[in-house]
Amino acid sequence: MKIYGTAKGGAISKKDFGVAFGGGAPSVDYSWVDVQSTYTIDGNKITRSGTGWDAYCLSTNGSPASTGLTLSAITGGSASSYVSYTWLDGSDNPRGETSGNWDERVMSYGWYFTNNPSEDGAKIRIDGGTIGSPYAYTENVTVFKVVMTADDVKFYLDDVLKYTADSGTGEQPDASKTYYMIGSAYENDGYITGAMA
Protein backbone atom coordinates (compact mmCIF):
# COMPACT_ATOMS: atom_id res chain seq x y z
CA MET A 1 0.00 0.00 0.00
CA LYS A 2 1.29 3.44 -0.80
CA ILE A 3 0.29 6.63 0.95
CA TYR A 4 1.94 9.95 1.34
CA GLY A 5 4.62 10.67 3.89
CA THR A 6 6.47 13.78 4.90
CA ALA A 7 9.49 14.70 6.94
CA LYS A 8 9.05 17.34 9.62
CA GLY A 9 6.72 19.64 7.71
CA GLY A 10 8.45 19.18 4.36
CA ALA A 11 6.74 18.83 1.02
CA ILE A 12 4.58 15.77 0.57
CA SER A 13 5.96 13.05 -1.65
CA LYS A 14 4.86 9.55 -2.64
CA LYS A 15 6.74 6.81 -0.85
CA ASP A 16 6.17 3.54 0.92
CA PHE A 17 4.68 4.43 4.28
CA GLY A 18 7.14 2.16 6.06
CA VAL A 19 10.18 4.02 4.73
CA ALA A 20 11.96 6.03 7.40
CA PHE A 21 11.34 9.76 7.42
CA GLY A 22 14.02 12.39 7.09
CA GLY A 23 17.73 11.90 7.60
CA GLY A 24 20.64 13.13 9.65
CA ALA A 25 20.12 12.65 13.40
CA PRO A 26 19.13 9.21 14.69
CA SER A 27 15.36 8.76 14.43
CA VAL A 28 13.11 8.23 17.43
CA ASP A 29 11.03 5.05 17.51
CA TYR A 30 7.40 6.15 17.21
CA SER A 31 6.03 2.70 16.29
CA TRP A 32 2.61 1.64 17.59
CA VAL A 33 2.08 -0.11 20.94
CA ASP A 34 -1.19 -2.04 21.51
CA VAL A 35 -1.95 -0.85 25.03
CA GLN A 36 -4.97 -3.08 25.79
CA SER A 37 -4.04 -5.97 23.42
CA THR A 38 -7.13 -5.42 21.26
CA TYR A 39 -5.47 -4.44 17.98
CA THR A 40 -3.45 -6.19 15.33
CA ILE A 41 -0.36 -4.19 14.45
CA ASP A 42 1.14 -4.67 10.99
CA GLY A 43 3.91 -2.12 10.49
CA ASN A 44 2.18 1.28 10.60
CA LYS A 45 -1.32 -0.23 10.36
CA ILE A 46 -3.48 -0.87 13.43
CA THR A 47 -6.70 -2.90 13.07
CA ARG A 48 -9.35 -3.11 15.78
CA SER A 49 -10.36 -6.46 17.27
CA GLY A 50 -13.68 -5.94 19.03
CA THR A 51 -15.93 -2.91 19.35
CA GLY A 52 -15.93 0.19 21.52
CA TRP A 53 -13.80 3.11 22.66
CA ASP A 54 -12.32 0.94 25.42
CA ALA A 55 -8.93 0.52 23.72
CA TYR A 56 -6.31 2.48 21.82
CA CYS A 57 -2.81 2.23 20.37
CA LEU A 58 -0.06 4.65 21.33
CA SER A 59 3.34 5.53 19.90
CA THR A 60 6.29 3.92 21.64
CA ASN A 61 7.82 7.31 22.41
CA GLY A 62 6.77 10.94 22.52
CA SER A 63 8.45 14.27 21.89
CA PRO A 64 7.89 17.93 22.77
CA ALA A 65 6.32 20.18 20.14
CA SER A 66 9.64 21.99 19.75
CA THR A 67 11.06 18.84 18.11
CA GLY A 68 8.83 19.44 15.08
CA LEU A 69 6.49 16.52 14.52
CA THR A 70 4.46 15.29 11.57
CA LEU A 71 1.64 12.81 11.86
CA SER A 72 0.35 11.28 8.59
CA ALA A 73 -2.52 8.82 8.22
CA ILE A 74 -5.21 7.19 6.14
CA THR A 75 -8.19 5.26 7.49
CA GLY A 76 -10.63 2.57 6.38
CA GLY A 77 -12.89 -0.28 7.36
CA SER A 78 -16.02 1.92 7.56
CA ALA A 79 -15.28 2.62 11.19
CA SER A 80 -15.52 5.65 13.40
CA SER A 81 -11.90 6.25 14.36
CA TYR A 82 -9.29 8.88 15.11
CA VAL A 83 -5.58 9.59 14.94
CA SER A 84 -4.14 12.39 17.02
CA TYR A 85 -1.43 13.79 19.21
CA THR A 86 -2.04 13.33 22.92
CA TRP A 87 -0.12 13.73 26.18
CA LEU A 88 0.02 11.39 29.16
CA ASP A 89 -0.62 12.25 32.79
CA GLY A 90 1.48 10.89 35.69
CA SER A 91 -0.39 7.57 35.48
CA ASP A 92 0.13 7.27 31.70
CA ASN A 93 -3.52 8.09 30.92
CA PRO A 94 -4.02 9.99 27.63
CA ARG A 95 -5.08 13.58 28.44
CA GLY A 96 -5.80 12.36 31.97
CA GLU A 97 -8.79 10.24 30.91
CA THR A 98 -9.11 7.31 33.29
CA SER A 99 -12.63 6.10 32.50
CA GLY A 100 -11.64 3.40 30.04
CA ASN A 101 -13.81 5.19 27.48
CA TRP A 102 -11.02 6.67 25.38
CA ASP A 103 -12.98 8.50 22.70
CA GLU A 104 -12.47 12.01 21.28
CA ARG A 105 -11.68 13.35 24.76
CA VAL A 106 -8.13 12.00 24.55
CA MET A 107 -7.35 13.97 21.38
CA SER A 108 -5.06 16.98 21.75
CA TYR A 109 -4.66 17.73 18.02
CA GLY A 110 -5.98 15.30 15.45
CA TRP A 111 -8.48 14.04 12.90
CA TYR A 112 -11.66 12.21 13.86
CA PHE A 113 -13.10 10.00 11.11
CA THR A 114 -16.81 9.16 11.00
CA ASN A 115 -18.10 5.89 9.60
CA ASN A 116 -19.92 7.85 6.86
CA PRO A 117 -17.05 9.56 4.97
CA SER A 118 -19.10 11.24 2.23
CA GLU A 119 -21.74 12.76 4.52
CA ASP A 120 -20.44 13.15 8.07
CA GLY A 121 -16.81 13.35 6.99
CA ALA A 122 -13.63 13.93 8.98
CA LYS A 123 -13.46 16.45 11.79
CA ILE A 124 -10.58 18.46 13.21
CA ARG A 125 -10.43 18.00 16.98
CA ILE A 126 -8.42 20.08 19.44
CA ASP A 127 -8.41 19.30 23.17
CA GLY A 128 -11.59 17.25 22.86
CA GLY A 129 -13.60 19.83 20.89
CA THR A 130 -14.54 20.00 17.19
CA ILE A 131 -13.21 22.87 15.07
CA GLY A 132 -15.31 24.02 12.12
CA SER A 133 -17.29 21.80 9.75
CA PRO A 134 -16.42 18.23 8.73
CA TYR A 135 -14.66 17.40 5.45
CA ALA A 136 -15.74 14.63 3.07
CA TYR A 137 -13.04 12.04 2.47
CA THR A 138 -12.45 8.74 0.68
CA GLU A 139 -11.42 5.69 2.68
CA ASN A 140 -7.97 4.31 1.82
CA VAL A 141 -7.27 7.32 -0.42
CA THR A 142 -7.51 10.64 1.44
CA VAL A 143 -4.30 11.52 3.29
CA PHE A 144 -4.56 13.37 6.59
CA LYS A 145 -1.62 15.20 8.14
CA VAL A 146 -1.05 17.16 11.34
CA VAL A 147 2.20 19.14 11.59
CA MET A 148 3.25 20.39 15.02
CA THR A 149 5.92 22.95 15.89
CA ALA A 150 6.59 24.91 19.06
CA ASP A 151 4.41 27.74 17.71
CA ASP A 152 1.50 26.09 15.93
CA VAL A 153 -0.27 22.98 14.68
CA LYS A 154 -1.41 22.76 11.06
CA PHE A 155 -4.06 20.38 9.75
CA TYR A 156 -3.88 19.17 6.14
CA LEU A 157 -6.22 17.11 3.98
CA ASP A 158 -4.52 15.82 0.81
CA ASP A 159 -1.80 18.47 1.23
CA VAL A 160 -4.34 21.33 1.46
CA LEU A 161 -4.09 23.37 4.66
CA LYS A 162 -7.45 23.35 6.45
CA TYR A 163 -6.70 24.93 9.84
CA THR A 164 -3.89 26.44 11.90
CA ALA A 165 -3.97 26.32 15.68
CA ASP A 166 -1.64 28.93 17.20
CA SER A 167 -1.42 31.76 19.72
CA GLY A 168 -3.92 33.74 17.65
CA THR A 169 -6.57 31.08 18.23
CA GLY A 170 -5.33 30.33 21.75
CA GLU A 171 -4.61 26.74 20.72
CA GLN A 172 -0.81 26.60 20.45
CA PRO A 173 0.99 23.48 21.76
CA ASP A 174 1.90 23.31 25.43
CA ALA A 175 5.71 23.55 25.71
CA SER A 176 5.61 21.57 28.97
CA LYS A 177 3.98 18.50 27.37
CA THR A 178 5.45 15.48 25.63
CA TYR A 179 3.18 14.54 22.73
CA TYR A 180 2.48 10.98 21.62
CA MET A 181 0.57 9.59 18.64
CA ILE A 182 -2.71 7.90 19.59
CA GLY A 183 -5.15 5.99 17.40
CA SER A 184 -8.40 4.15 17.95
CA ALA A 185 -11.29 2.67 15.95
CA TYR A 186 -14.74 1.91 17.32
CA GLU A 187 -15.88 -0.87 15.01
CA ASN A 188 -14.33 -4.31 14.66
CA ASP A 189 -11.87 -4.43 11.71
CA GLY A 190 -11.71 -0.64 11.51
CA TYR A 191 -8.15 0.41 10.82
CA ILE A 192 -5.74 3.31 10.60
CA THR A 193 -2.41 3.40 8.80
CA GLY A 194 -0.49 6.16 10.50
CA ALA A 195 3.01 7.29 11.41
CA MET A 196 4.63 10.06 13.39
CA ALA A 197 8.04 11.45 12.55
Q: How far apart are CA 94 and CA 86, in angstroms?
A: 6
SS3 content of the chain, % helix, strand, coil (to 5): 5, 45, 55
- Paired strand residues for 139: none
The helix (H) or strand (E) run that includes residue 147 is: strand 144-148
How many other CB atoms are there within 10 angstroms of residue 36's CB atom? 13
* Structure confidence by residue, pLDDT tens digits, 112-152: 999 888 888 999 999 989 999 999 999 999 999 999 999 99
* Structure confidence by residue, pLDDT tens digits, 17-55: 333 334 455 678 999 999 999 999 999 999 999 999 999
Instruction: Please name which of 135, 58, 147, 151 lies closest in space to residue 110, comparing C-alpha atoms.
Output: 147
* Structure confidence by residue, pLDDT tens digits, 46-56: 999 999 999 99
Q: Are 30 and 22 a contacting pair, CB within 8 Å?
A: no
Domain chopping of the chain, boundaries: 33-196
Instruction: Please classify residue 28 by burial: count the beta carbons closer than 10 Å to its beta carbon, then call 0-12 exposed, 13-18 middle and 19+ buried.
Output: middle
Q: How far apart are CA 111 and CA 81, in angstroms?
A: 9
Instruction: Please name which of 189, 184, 181, 158 lies closest in space to residue 59, comparing C-alpha atoms.
Output: 181
- The fold of the 33-196 domain, in CATH, is Jelly Rolls (2.60.120)
Cβ contacts of residue 79 below 8 Å, gap of 6+?
A: 48, 113, 115, 185, 186, 187, 189, 190, 191
pTM, two decimals, is 0.86
